[in-house]
Structure 1
C-alpha cells in the first residue's frame, strides 16, 4: 500500500492552515503575514499546555516528542528557498512595472545591497556586545551570520502588510522592489560568512566576484526564460497552458540558476518582469487578469501554509526567560540597525537623498518585515557542528525577530505613515492615539504630505501644511516693513514647496 507519511503531513498542515487563517480573519482581523503566525504560535502554546495537563491520562495519550520530531522532519529551507519562493517572486514580478523599476532603480538598489550589508554588520556588532554583557558570549562571526539572515526583508511579509496599508505608490514600489531584489545579496552574504565559520577562506574580492557572477548569470538565465515563455504564449492557447507556462517560468528559471550556482531569486524575478511587461502585447486583458488572479490565489494558499509552518517551528524551540528577553533585545537592535544602515547607505549618494520625499527613509526603515527567508536560512544551518552549540540562540532569536517584526513593524507602519502623510482619520484616543502621538515626534519639522488624485486618476502628492516651512511671524513682519524681503521669503517658500512636491522624488 505504500507510506501515507506525506499525505498525513499535508493533511495536518492544511487543517492547521485553515484553522489559523479563519481565526485570524474572523476574530483578529490582522494581515495574514502578521495574524497567522501569531495564531499558529498561540495554538502551539495551547497544545503544549494541554499536553502537560492532560496528555498522559487513561483517556488521552499525546506524545509531544513525536510531534516535535514530525516538525523537525519538515525541511523548511527546502520547502521555501528551494521550493515555493520561486512562485511568490514570479507572481510579484509579473505585476511589477519595468517603468517603476527604471524610475526608482537607485533607491531600490541601495536598499537591497549597501543598506542590507550595513544592517547585518551593525546588528552583529551590537548583539556581540549584548551577549558579552549578559555573560553568554557568542562569536562575532556567528552573530554576523545571524544578522545577514535577518537583514533581508521578506517579499511574502511585505506583500501581506502592503495589502492592508494605504501607502503612497512610490513607497509601495520601493518596499516591494527591495524585497524582490535583496535576496541575492542576503543569500550571498550568508553563504560567504557561513564558509568562514566552517573554516573556509574569505576575501572581499572573492565575495564581490561571486556576487557579480550570481547576479549576471541569473539575469542572463532570466532573460532567456522570459523570452522563451513569451514565444510560448504567442498563437492559440488554453488558460491551462497560460498558467503552466508561467509556472514553468518560475520553476525552470529558478532551477537552472541553482544548477549554474547563480541567484535563483534574481533569475525568476527577471523572467517575471520580462513576461509581465510584454504579455499585454500578446494576450488580451481578460486572459492577463485571469492568470494574475490564479497566481494571487496561489500566493494566498502558500502564505497560509508558510505562516502556519513558522508558528509550528515553536515546537523545536526550548524557550526560556533569557532566550525570550534576548530575542526581544535582538529585535530592537535589528530595528535600530536597519535605520542606521538605510540612512548611512545614502550618505555617498547625495543627489538621491536630496531628491527624497520627506520621511521616505524613516517609513522604509520601519517597513522592513522579516519572515520565512530568515527563518529558513537559520534552520538550515543551526545544527551543523560549528553552530550546534548556539542553535537555541540562533533559532530562538530569529523566531522572535520574525514574529515581532510582523507585529511591531507591520501593525506600526500605518502610524509612522500618518506622521508624514496627513490622515484625518488617524486615532486620537487610547493606546493607538498615544502610539500615534509618539510617531508624530519622528517628524521633527511637522511638515506633512497629502495624497490625492488628479482628473486622470493619477496620484498627486502635495504639501498639506506649507506654512510650517517658514516662520509666519517673520513673513508678516517683512510684509509690513519690507515688501521686497517678503517677496524673497515667499519665493524661497514656493521654490522649496516645488522641490518637495517634485514627482521625480523618490
Structure 2
C-alpha cells in the first residue's frame, strides 16, 4: 500500500511540475492533460514493442479503488475545503437559483439525460434498460467547479455567476449521489419500491446530511471558539472531515452534503467569531494546500484511467451525441431556474449561457460509474462516462473564460 501511495504522489507531483513548467494550462485541467499525454506515451511505447512500463503503471492504477478513494475520502475533503471559502451571505442572496439547480435541476437532468441516452444507445444496437439509462443520467448530472473556477476569476465573472456556479456544485454532488443511490438500490433489488419508501430514503439521506452536518459543524465551531492555538484548531477541522464522513456513512446520511454544511459553518461562523488572524491564515493555507493536492491527484488519476478502459470509435461517436444531449439537458434545467430566480434577484444577462456551458462534469461522475454492478452495462456506461467527462473538461473548461468575456463585454454603441 505504501508503495502505491508513494508512487502515485510522486507521479502526480511530476505531472503537476510538467504542466506548470512547460504547458501552462489551468492547474486541474493541465494535470489531467499531462496525465493523458503520459498515458498515450506509454501506449505508444507498447506499440513499439516496449510494454513493460505501461504494464507497471496499469497495474498501479488498477490497484487504486477510484470509487472508494473519491466518494469515501477525497470528495468530503474537497467539498469541505470549497465550502470553507463560500460567503454564506452571498449564498443566501442567490439561494433560489442555487436551490433549484441543485435539487430539481438534478432530478430533471437525470430524467432528460436518461431518456435521451435510452434512444441514443438503441441507435447503436445497445439494449440498455431504461433504469440503467436513468442511472447514467444521475451519475452524469453533477457539475464539477474545479476546472472552471480559475477561468471565472480571470474572466472577471460577476458575483451572481460565481456564487451560483459554486453554490450549485457544492450541493448538487450530494443530491446526485443520493439520486444515484436510490436508483442503484432499485436496480439491485430488481423491483421498484413504493413512492413513499423512495421519498423517505431521499429525505433520510439528504435532509439527514444537512442536519448532521449542522450538528457536527456547530460542535466543532464551539470547540474552536474555546481555544486559542491554531494547531489545535486546524486539527479539529481535519478531524471533523475524517470523523464526520465516517460517521455519516454509518448513519446512512449524505456525507457530501454534511461536509458542505459543516464547511459553511466553520468558514462563516467560525471564521468571524472563533478565529484570530493567525488561525485564519493557517486555516486557509492548510485547506488551500490540501485542496490543491487532492485536485491534482484526482485529475491525474482521471487522465491515467485511460490505460484501464476499453474504447472504440463507436463509443466515441455515442459519447459525442450524449455530450450534446447533456448540454441540452443543462440548458433545459438552467433556463427556467434563472428565469424564475429573476423575479427575486437581479441576475445578469447572459447568465443562462454561462451556466449552461460552465456545467462541467468531473471525477464524481467517473466514480459513480465505477460503482455500478459488474456487467456489460457497467463497462459500456463507464467508457461513455469517461469520454464525456474528458470532453467536458477539455472543451468547456478551456473555453468557459471566453464565454464569460463574450457575455460580460460591453456592447458597442
Same fold (TM over 0.5): yes
Name the TM-score class by shorter chain. over 0.9
Provide Cα deviations, 1:278-316, integer angstroms capped at 9, x if missing partner.
222222223212211111011111111111111111111
Helix, strand or coil for the counterpart of 1:96?
A: coil
- Residue 346 of structure 1 and its aligned partner are, at CA, apart by 5.4
Aligned match for 1:412, one of 396, 399, 402: 399
Distance 1:214 1:158 in 2: 28
Structure showing greater Rg: 1
State whether structure 2 residue 367 is matched by structure 1 residue 372: no
Aligned to 2:60: 70
- Residue 160 of structure 1 and its aligned partner are, at CA, apart by 5.0
Q: Structure 1 350/163 Cα, relative in aligned 2: closer, same or farther at 3 Å?
A: closer
State whether structure 2 residue 221 is matched by structure 1 residue 221: no
Q: Structure 1 32/200 Cα, relative in aligned 2: closer, same or farther at 3 Å?
A: farther
Provide Cα deviations, 1:250-294, integer angstroms capped at 9, x if missing partner.
223222222111111111111111121122222222321221111
**Which structure: greater helix fraction?**
2
- Structure 1 segment 213-362 matched on structure 2, within 5 A: 213-279=204-270, 280-345=272-337, 349=340, 352=343, 355-362=346-353
Helix, strand or coil for the counterpart of 1:278?
A: helix
Provide Cα deviations, 1:223-252, integer angstroms capped at 9, x if missing partner.
221222122213444322121011122223
Aligned match for 2:116, one of 115, 126, 145: 126
- Residue 63 of structure 1 and its aligned partner are, at CA, apart by 6.8
Q: Structure 1: which 5+ residue stretches go unaligned?
A: 1-5, 57-61, 423-447, 449-463, 468-506
State whether structure 2 residue 7 is matched by structure 1 residue 12: yes
Aligned to 2:389: 402
Distance 2:13 2:57 in 1: 19
After TM superposition, the score normalised by the length of structure 2 is 0.93
- Structure 1 vs Structure 2 CA RMSD: 2.2
Report how many aligned residue pairs link the two structures.
411
Helix, strand or coil for the counterpart of 1:200?
A: coil
After TM superposition, the score normalised by the length of structure 1 is 0.76
Whether contact under 8 Å (2:152, 2:404) holds in the other structure is no
Distance 1:67 1:285 in 2: 44
Q: Structure 2: which 5+ residue stretches go unaligned?
A: none
